Amino acid sequence: MFPRASALALCVSFAALLSAGQSAALELPLPPEGEDLVGEIQVIKAKYEDTFAALGEQYDLGYLELVAANPGVDPWLPGEGTDIVLPTRFILPPGPREGIVINLAEYRLYFYPEGQNVVHTYPLGIGREGWGSPVGETHISAMTSNPAWYPPQSIRDEHAAEGDPLPRVVPPGPDNPLGPYKMTLAMPGYLIHGSNKKFGIGMQVSHGCFRMLNHNVLELAGRVKVGTSVRIIDEPYKFGISQQKVYLEAHTPLGSEEKNLTLMDRHAAVVNTLLQRDEDAGSLRLDWETVREIIAGEDGLPIQIAEQNQALASQEESLF
């Protein structure tokens, strides 16, 4: 078995390296070819004034990421001295490691700068139910500093119905919901932008666009350019390899239908995802009890579920 507690114990020593004032975005070295994990899980002691919203801003984590990784902890009053797991180890999204990759299910953006052996990753706010963010491939078509906001009629109607009418134009400034920067996507109507609200990063809150913390959107804007590719996926279950070990990372599916699936149905979805990812997966000796715990927990932490050399050993045994 590879239980959650054991996985955390292997990673928390990294927390000793943290500085109390950390606020830089996550820049992580890419793993060797054929491997998929980056970063390390961290554990900190909560201070009296800490909240998950404030910790998310400090460590570039989304609100729901922190909630999922810390079951049973009050997100608004964790309590002085409470251990807080920072889920800063990630299985890289499947597919090419180039440009921007957004995984809706984990409320997270990954950027692979060309010619550099690193990945930058940032938490996102995404489209709420009824205003879902799209899936597909596109690119950045325009970049605008200090943008004005021209709310579409549908959003103006929504606000008017709630007794909060909007003007036709919201000028740049602290009341502008686009924050200090916007990157327009070639998908009409969709943006990557900052926000005038800190709460909501790492949640389903927008009308389909992708919200970032303001310091993150400014940093990303300095790294990308018009034409940078953007690939948007929705993968609640990610598999990865690290040092001949197989890991599974599970997030809560976004759709209401997927959320209501039975544990058995979700188990089948995970197995299908693994088989699609790796044609040799059928030869792995998976720890099914751990797989079930990960699927049920949906805590977003990469947990070991098998070893590749086990599969090789079983193949060798079959030759005799």
Active site residues: 193, 209
Name which of 59, 44, 55 is nearest 77 in CA terms.
55
Size of the chain, expressed as the number of residues it contains: 320
Is residue 250 classed as helix, strand or coil in its secondary structure? strand
Pairing of strands 126-127, 204-206: parallel
How far out from the chain centre does Cα 232 lie? 12
Is residue 165 classed as helix, strand or coil in its secondary structure? coil
> Which residues have CB under 8 Å from 167's CB, separation 6+?
none
Contact (CB, 8 A) for 133 and 125: no
Contact (CB, 8 A) for 207 and 131: yes
* Cα–Cα distances in angstroms (integers) from residue 317 to residues 60, 251, 306, 312, in the given order: 47, 36, 18, 9
Contact (CB, 8 A) for 150 and 57: no
Helices and strands, number each (H, E), in the chain? 9, 18
